[in-house]
Chains A and B, each alone.
Chain A
Amino acid sequence: GAVVSQHPSRVICKSGTSVKIECRSLDFQATTMFWYRQFPKKSLMLMATSNEGSKATYEQGVEKDKFLINHASLTLSTLTVTSAHPEDSSFYICSARDRLAGLDNEQFFGPGTRLTVL
């Protein structure tokens, strides 16, 4: 089946530092990947849509200069949280759609990254 990995699974950093999270599609190619943020016991909030070879599309209210997204290849997208603050602490989840699948195909989700900013 389609597998999406995320690295790291958990990261703790100091306030003011930047953190990079990787999302990889392991057995398929993804022209589109998605980055979500999930607060405790809350639904997923779509932050941005990552498009291979072009700029990401950010949802309203998401600061693109703070959450830098790079989709360098058909199997890798990265989310960099710049100048992290404690309020950025959250569970970040990525997902990907197989580029060869139809529009009705489901998204496959990564296992998530727990970010804690001290």
Chain B
Amino acid sequence: AQSVAQPEDQVNVAEGNPLTVKCTYSVSGNPYLFWYVQYPNRGLQFLLKYITGDNLVKGSYGFEAEFNKSQTSFHLKKPSALVSDSALYFCAVRDRGGGNKLTFGTGTQLKVEL
């Protein structure tokens, strides 16, 4: 069974400061990893994904994530946070061994303050 853990329910950061949203995963094989963002009463928007290759993945809106196989982590980062980045962020994993099923973490609420 695959699973995702997002250990922080909420992350607070000042605008202009770097931000990190943590994610660890568990799959039986090699993973496909994804980050999505959700604004209030909206669906999920795709941010970035790790499939293979370079462990540092760059995505939309200046976000990036680093795949660390030894630590089974895929933390989301941004060098300089904006107030408009405030939203709910979900990490998700899919076992590339088969199947379409995405498993999501519990979500991390990011709050960026002036």
Contacts and interface: CB of A to CB of B under 8 A. Distances in A.
A90 to B, nearest CB: 13
Chain A CB count within 10 A is highest, among B44, B51, B96, for B44
A4 B105 CA distance: 22
A8 interface: no
A104 B42 contact: no
Contacts of B36: 109
Chain B interface residue bracket vs A? 20 to 34
Interface in A55-89: none
A43 B105 contact: yes
B106 A43 contact: yes
A104 B43 contact: no
Interface string B80-101: 0000000000100000100011
Interface of B: 32, 34, 36, 41-46, 49, 51-52, 90, 96, 100-107, 109
6 contacts: A32-B100, A46-B102, A46-B103, A49-B100, A97-B100, A111-B42
Given A103-B32, A103-B100, A110-B43, 7 more contacts: A41-B109, A42-B106, A43-B104, A104-B52, A111-B42, A112-B41, A112-B42
Interface of A: 4, 6, 32, 34, 41-44, 46, 49, 91, 93, 95, 97, 103-104, 106-112, 114
